[in-house]
Structure 1
Amino acid sequence: MEALKRLEAVLSETLFGQEAVIRTLLATATAGGHVLFEGLPGLGKTLLAKSFAQASGLSYRRIQFTPDLLPADVTGTLVLRDGAFTFQPGPLFAQVVLADEINRATPKTQSALLEAMQEGAVTIAGERHALPSPFLVLATQNPVEIEGTYPLPEAQLDRFMAKIEITNPPRTVWMRILSEEPKAPEPVVDADAFHEARARVDQVRVSSAALEAVTNLALLAAEHAALRFGVSPRGAKAWLRLAKAMALLGGRAHVDWEDLRRAARPALIHRLFLTEEAEFEGITPHQVLEELVQKAMPSITPR
Structure 2
Amino acid sequence: MIPKQQLAEEQQTGALPAAAEQDSWPEAANQLLKLMMARVNSVLLGKSELVAQVFAALLAGGHVLLEDVPGVGKTLLVRAIARVMGGEFRRIQFTSDMLPADVVGGLVWDGKRGELVFRQGPLMANVVLADEINRTPPRTQSALLEAMEERSVTADGETIRLPQPFMLLATQNPLRDDGTYPLPEAQLDRFMMRLSVGYPSEEDEIRMLEIAPQRLIPEFLRPVIIPEEWLRMQRDAQSVHVHSALLTYAVQVVGATRSAVELELGASPRATRDWIRAAQATAYVAGRRFVVPDDLKITAEPVMAHRFIVNDGAAVSGVCAADVLSRILTAVPIPSAITEGGRRR
TM-score higher than 0.5: yes
Identity of aligned residues (%): 41
The answer to whether the 8 A contact 1:77-1:89 is kept is yes
Cα distance in 2 for residues equivalent to 1:149 and 1:188: 36
Counterpart-to-counterpart distance in 2, 1:205 and 1:284:
33
Within-5 A mapping of 1:258-277: 258-277=294-313
Distance 1:144 1:107 in 2: 14
- Which amino acid letter does the alignment assign opposite residue 103 of structure 2? V
CA distance in 1 between partners of 2:245 and 2:91 (Å): 42
Cα contact 2:175–2:181 (8 A) shared by 1: no
Distance 2:229 2:45 in 1: 24
Asked if residue 87 in structure 1 is aligned to residue 123 in structure 2, the reply is no
What residue is the counterpart of 2:192 in the other structure?
Answer: 161
Match runs of 1:82-231 below 5 Å: 82-180=113-211, 181=213, 182=216, 184-231=220-267
Q: Tell me how far apart the structure 2 counterparts of residues 117 and 223 of structure 1 sit (CA, whole Å).
A: 28
Structure 1 stretches lacking a partner, 5+ long: none
Instruction: List structure 1 runs of 4+ shifted beyond 4 angstroms.
Output: none
Separation in structure 1 between the aligned mates of residue 178 and residue 97 of structure 2, nearest angstrom: 15
Alignment size in residue pairs: 299
Maintained 8 Å contact 1:227/1:275: yes
Provide TM-score, normalisation by structure 2: 0.84
Q: In 2, distance between residues paired with 1:16 and 1:67?
A: 32
Note the alpha carbon deviations across 1:154-200, whole angstroms, 9 max, x for none.
Answer: 10000101111111122221211221132531111111221111111
| Aligned-pair CA distance for 1:144 | 4.7
The answer on 1:74 being equivalent to 2:103 is: yes
Contact 2:148–2:168 at 8 Å: present in 1 too?
A: yes
2:55 equivalent in structure 1: 26
Q: Distance in 1 between matches of 2:155 and 2:76?
A: 32
CA distance in 2, matches of 1:30, 1:12: 17
Q: Which amino acid aligns with 2:247?
A: L
1:296 aligns with 2:332: yes
Q: Given residue 69 of structure 1, which amino acid in structure 2 is its aligned partner? A: M
Q: Which amino acid aligns with 1:287?
A: D
1:243 maps to 279
CA–CA distance in 1 between the matches of 2:250 and 2:84? 34
Bigger shift: 209-218 or 180-189? 180-189
Contact kept in structure 2, 1:3 and 1:193, CA below 8 Å: no
Contact kept in structure 1, 2:165 and 2:230, CA below 8 Å: yes
Look up the equivalent residue of 1:41 and give its one-letter code. Answer: P
Structure exhibiting the larger radius of gyration computed from Cα positions? 2
Q: Which consecutive residues of structure 2, in runs of 5 or more, have no partner in the other structure? A: 1-29, 336-345
